[in-house]
Structures are given as structure tokens and as C-alpha cells.
Structure 1
């Protein structure tokens, strides 16, 4: 299915399949299985071994990497992460995405923009994807704390990694991978200068965390507080458009 074009008129073929396990997680799954076999086979402690083997399956599931169908409309900004929309705020972009870093990329302009925060639980897919196509201009790692990623202050206090993508027409989107209480490593798949397609895999965070997205000025979200969204598929916003959207939890 990868690379196949599908549309809303019925073109393409779709069928369910088991998601692949990302290479980054295979070693952890194998290690978990081997550890669980010690009490199960060597020590004959089934009451401990079987739950540990079940936990091993959970490790593999955490690193699952399903295929996604990426909307190709030029103005569409897609979600970089699976998870729950927990915060929508008007904020200044992070300093690391604004200041002149000497690379020739001007960064994001100063002034309030809309930040969408996506919380990823341990049950969500943790592969992050590019919200737009373009060139990676910045990848800035910032050490920090590991407080609850669901809190607003996590944007400024937690360990995090800022990424800036710029399209040929000058549109730039910044987003931030934020470690949480359990997460202890942010793994990038890209570096400055790389060209990425919209929805391309750009990194992951282990194990439960958050991603903040900074929309261009004058662009409002097309998602709601409390909405579950899907990386690479859910349209977060459309450039230059905005209107009040309301939903009812039920």
C-alpha cells in the first residue's frame, strides 16, 4: 500500500493488516521476551513468566508503525502525532525556533500564534510525522525535566526537541517533541538540510509524551479540545483559514 494513491472517489485498494514494528523497537521487544523466558522456562515460575511475556507483547505494540494515508492538499497541515488534543493556546513560539541561529533560515516570526498540544499515552502510536513537506531547517535539543507532559509548563520545562520545516514557498511550521513522566529519550530520524514529504516519519519518543505544533499566524485549528487525532492523516489546520468550531462530548 505504501506509495499508492487513494482518493474520496473510490480509487485505490484498502484492507486491514497487522502494523509493522519499527526497527527502533524490535531490539527492546526481543530483550523483553528473553527476560520473560527466564522465569517461565528456566525457573518454572509461571505466575511471573506469563505476565512478563504479555508485557513483552506490549513492548512490541508500543513500537507499532502502521501505514497512513496522507492528505495531499497544499494548504493542509497534518497532525505530527497520534493522541489527544489537550491544549490549544495563543503563545509566542519557542525562542529556539525564532532566533537567528546562523544557518540562513530566519526561523519563526515573533508574535502570538496558535499552539496545539497533542498528548500521547503509552497506548498511542509513537512514531511522529512531518506536518508539511519541505526542508528541515532546525533540529534543536533542549535538556530538561520529566514532569507530566499533560501540563502546560511542560513546554518550557521538560526535555524537548524543536524541529522547523520550511516549504519552498516560505511557509514554515515549527513543532516540539516533549518528553514526559515515563519518556526518557527523544529519537530523531532527520537532521537539518533533509528534505521530507508531508506525513513522512521524522522521529519518535519513548514511552508516553507530547508534541506541540505552532500554526502560522492567521491560521486556526480544525481540531477540537478533547479530540483524538491520527498522525499524518488528521488535518490540524488549513493555511490562512479559520472559523470557530464547536463539538459536544458524548
Structure 2
């Protein structure tokens, strides 16, 4: 287990602030020792919670051109056929994965291929499960075309807590299945849009592991 680069500054400055708070209570305010002990415990617990937000597990990725891997840890909250209006402008099979604050927040490419489209949208911060969050929240849209010419769209969506989306790819880049393409701080949601003939391998409520769980199989 390693720590993700997105957490380094937050963890460093959080540590400085927490140490400052502890010294304030311990040496300046002259509060009772039981209060100081309680403050210390609270600070340690909060810091450990922040620390776990930025964990980045290492594992072997089993690549398969037919498989679509989960782009994130989380829970499947949507499986439906819907109109995708930003890039395809036609019906697609949508799978949405909700990332809670306790999930790993690294986002991974569902397939290997070339990035055909990449766009960032500033927006609102509706709760991630809101029906309009996919089109109105802060988000990035990325489309990857595999070697067979099949395009898969995946979208990082910010939520009420998650207000920092990071992405590391641009149009023309080559990405590997399971490779890291971005990060959403403190949880949110990722939508995946697949061809209508893709065979979904998960159900509503299933837990996913980014880069490991097969969420669908491509037919062509």
C-alpha cells in the first residue's frame, strides 16, 4: 500500500495544523489534561481518516480486450440505457459507480486504447446521486477507442464533498487498461457509457474494485 501523490500536500499541511492545535491546547490555553488527551485522540483519528482517503493499493491488472474494468472502487448505483448527449449523441448503456469517502479514490481506465476526446466542465456540486449531477456538476469527460474501434466514454463527476477532480490524460494519449487516469478527492461518482450490445456483468448494489472488477464485456 502506498500513498497517492494527490494527498502529499494535504497530509503535510494537515499534520502541521494538527500539531499546532495540540500545542495550543497543551501549552497555551492551559486546559485540563483530560481535555488535551481528548483533543489528541480526535486529531489522530481525523488524520488517519484523511490518510486512508489517499491510499493507493498496488495489484496485478488482468488485461483483456473484451472486458471493461471498473474505473473506480465503489458501489454500482445505475445500470440503464440512456441518451448520451455530449459526444455520442445517441443511446448508450450507462453504468454509474458511487465512490464514498472510505473508498480508494484513484480512477483507472476501463479499457486500453487512444484518448479520442477529453474535456473538463466547471459546474455545480449537487450530491453525486442526484439525477442531474452527470450533466450539471463539475466533471471531466474522457473517451477511449480500443484497437477494434469501440469507443467507451467515462466521466468523473464531483459531488457535494468532492470538489477537486484531477485527470492525467489528453487527447491523443495512449492509455492502458487499469492504468491510472485521474483522481477525485474525497469521493464522488464515475459514469461509464458503453455500446448497447455490451453485456453487463454487475448488478445494482454490487461493490467494485477499480482496475479489477469486470463490469461489462464488449461484443464486437
| TM-score calculated relative to the size of structure 2 | 0.91
Partner in structure 1 of residue 117 of structure 2: 138
Matches within 5 A, 1:38-117: 38-44=20-26, 45-95=36-86, 97-98=87-88, 110-117=89-96
CA deviations on 1:181-238 (whole Å, 9 max, x unpaired) are: 1011110111111111100000011122000000122113100000000000000111
Q: How far apart are 1:87 and its partner, in Å?
A: 1.0
State the distance in 2 between where 1:150 and 1:217 align. Answer: 23
Q: CA RMSD in A?
A: 1.5
Q: How far apart are 1:24 and its partner, in Å?
A: 1.3
The structure where helix makes up a greater share of residues is 2
Residues 114, 220 of structure 1: 8 Å contact kept? no
Partner in structure 2 of residue 27 of structure 1: 9
CA deviations on 1:76-100 (whole Å, 9 max, x unpaired) are: 11010110001112111231x23xx
The structure where strand makes up a greater share of residues is 2
| TM-score calculated relative to the size of structure 1 | 0.80
Matched residue SS, 1:125: coil
Higher relative contact order (CA 8 A, sep 6+): 2
Q: Which of 135, 140, 146 in structure 2 is aligned with 1:167?
A: 146
Q: How far apart are 1:63 and its partner, in Å?
A: 0.8
Q: Which runs of 4+ in 1 moved over 2 A?
A: 45-50
Partner in structure 2 of residue 247 of structure 1: none
Unaligned runs of 5+ in 2: 27-35
State the distance in 2 between where 1:230 and 1:68 align. Answer: 11
